[in-house]
Amino acid sequence: MANSGIQLLGFSLSLIGVVGLIVGTILPQWKMSAYVGDNIITAVAMYQGLWMSCAFQSTGQMQCKVYDSILQLDNALQATRALMIVGIIVSVAGLGVACTGMKCTNCGGDDKVRKSRIAMTGGIVLLVGALCAIVACSWFAHNVIRAFYNPFTPVNSKFEFGAAIFIAWAGSFLDLLGGAMLAASCPRSKQ
């Protein structure tokens, strides 16, 4: 049975991971314009995220436009949005379940086996939420790489990874690590 220190560390890592998932999902810098080719114009940097696209000018001004219609978006972006939202919701639910089953809380009574089973269930739910987010980030990254190396993509519309995808990846891996620590709260049989 895991001690309360490992449970607290797992809960803390998962909480930081969920915050990273939320921040990464909201930020518009999932992919940014790549400066490749002979004609390099660095006065405007283009960013595209899950919810909006932005243009950052060299004067310091940033103009963002929220995507007008969900039907205009490609399927990969819609699926990435859905997986990130599902990952966040499932991870928050896993944090709630794990919180009630941790040794350091008074919820769930005094039965140690039942509390450790609840904490283990919360860890498994956190693992599912983290895997949803990892799949979403990796799928989006695969599409960016495939479009970058596609010879039919115009040079001025090639994109590379932005900062938000790395924040979301880091959050999902922290969520995965914390969920694994909480899932290690396997109950021993009663003696």
What DSSP assignment string belongs to 141-155? HHHHHHHHS-TTS-G
d(CA 99, CA 108): 10
The reported pLDDT for the residue numbered 190 is 56
User: Hey, how many other C-beta atoms are within 10 angstroms of the C-beta on 137?
Assistant: 29
Q: Which of 92, 118, 105, 85 is nearest to 175 (CA)?
A: 92
The reported pLDDT for the residue numbered 44 is 79
The reported pLDDT for the residue numbered 187 is 67
The reported pLDDT for the residue numbered 185 is 76
The reported pLDDT for the residue numbered 101 is 84
Per-residue pLDDT of the chain (191 residues; tens, 9 = 90+): 457 888 899 999 999 999 999 999 999 999 998 776 655 566 778 899 999 999 988 888 889 999 888 888 888 899 999 999 999 999 999 999 998 888 887 776 778 888 888 889 999 999 999 999 999 999 999 999 999 998 888 877 788 999 999 999 999 999 999 999 999 877 666 55
The reported pLDDT for the residue numbered 45 is 83
Structure tokens at 48: 């595209």
Q: Which of 18, 30, 36 is nearest to 132 (CA)?
A: 18
Instruction: State pTM to two decimals.
Output: 0.89
The reported pLDDT for the residue numbered 176 is 96
Check the CA dihedral 144-168-74-56 and report its sign: negative
Structure tokens at 30: 């999932």
Return the C-alpha torsion angle 147, 152, 154, 159, nearest 10.
Answer: 10
Alpha carbon separation from 176 to 15, 76, 109, 120, 142 (Å, rounded): 11, 23, 27, 13, 21
